[in-house]
Amino acid sequence: MTGKGYKGVGMEGAIARWYATNTGKDVARFEEKVDDVRRLARQGGKILEVAPGPGYLSIALARTGDYTVTGLDISETFVRIARDKAAEAGVEVDFRLGNASAMPFDDESFDFIVCTAAFKNFSDPVGALQEMHRVLRPGGCALISDLRKDVSKEAVDEDVARMGVSGLSKVFTRYVLRSVLPRRAYLKSEFEALISHTAFHTYDIQLSPLALDVELRK
């Protein structure tokens, strides 16, 4: 595939470092996601995190000792940050540079895929879903969680209050979540339409005030 792989500005340099600092304060978000993954992924399985950014979720999953974890992100800065953070934490995660819609992995390489707060940014969402299908083993599962397009201002404000950010970062995060990201995000019906163009036939989409949680089975 051609093109830059993401919508809008790429998350490199200072933007990536700001994001890593900001989201690093929201430990609860990653702990909750580890619990979700543990409910669905078998012990000893191979997990791929698509678009891990600074790598907090991958590192938390590796820390459980239950999984072999790989991360794939298109940002060079994030891959560097994530590798450093894994080394600091003393855990092994294979953080790779690459595009979600042209993954550098063999067919049926993973038991489980997780992708959080990133899918809306992909410029080729159907291509990314098709790649997830290709690299999952038969019977494997992908869990995609992302902002819902029809998120309310109240749900955003509540989430930002919970994140533990303050000052200008808080104002900026609220603005981006209220006004910028919903334009890229999907409604449940739009996500179903994307899935209909892929080889995934079994799925479930749950809505929370902030997010769509999409579970896909191969």
Ligand X SMILES: C[S@@+](CC[C@H](N)C(=O)[O-])C[C@H]1O[C@@H](n2cnc3c(N)ncnc32)[C@H](O)[C@@H]1O
List contacts with ligand X (CB under 6 A): 5-6, 11, 23, 51-53, 72-75, 78, 99-101, 116-118, 121-122
Closest approach, Cβ 77 to ligand X, in A, equals: 8
Using CA atoms of 129, 134, 136, 141 in order, give the dihedral in degrees to the nearest 10: 30
What is the number of residues in the chain?
218
Nearer to ligand X, 12 or 189 (CB): 12
Nearer to ligand X, 76 or 201 (CB): 76
- Tell me the residue nearest to ligand X as measured from the CB: 53
Closest approach, Cβ 90 to ligand X, in A, equals: 21
Residue 216 is encoded by which pair of tokens? 């896909």
Using CA atoms of 51, 57, 61, 64 in order, give the dihedral in degrees to the nearest 10: 170
Max intra-chain CA distance, the chain? 47
Nearer to ligand X, 118 or 143 (CB): 118
Nearer to ligand X, 121 or 173 (CB): 121
CB 73 within 8 A of CB 97: yes
Nearer to ligand X, 58 or 140 (CB): 58
CA distance 16 to 157: 23
CA distance 95 to 43: 20
Q: How many CB atoms lie within 10 A of CB 90?
A: 9
Closest approach, Cβ 7 to ligand X, in A, equals: 8
Closest approach, Cβ 189 to ligand X, in A, equals: 23
Closest approach, Cβ 100 to ligand X, in A, equals: 4
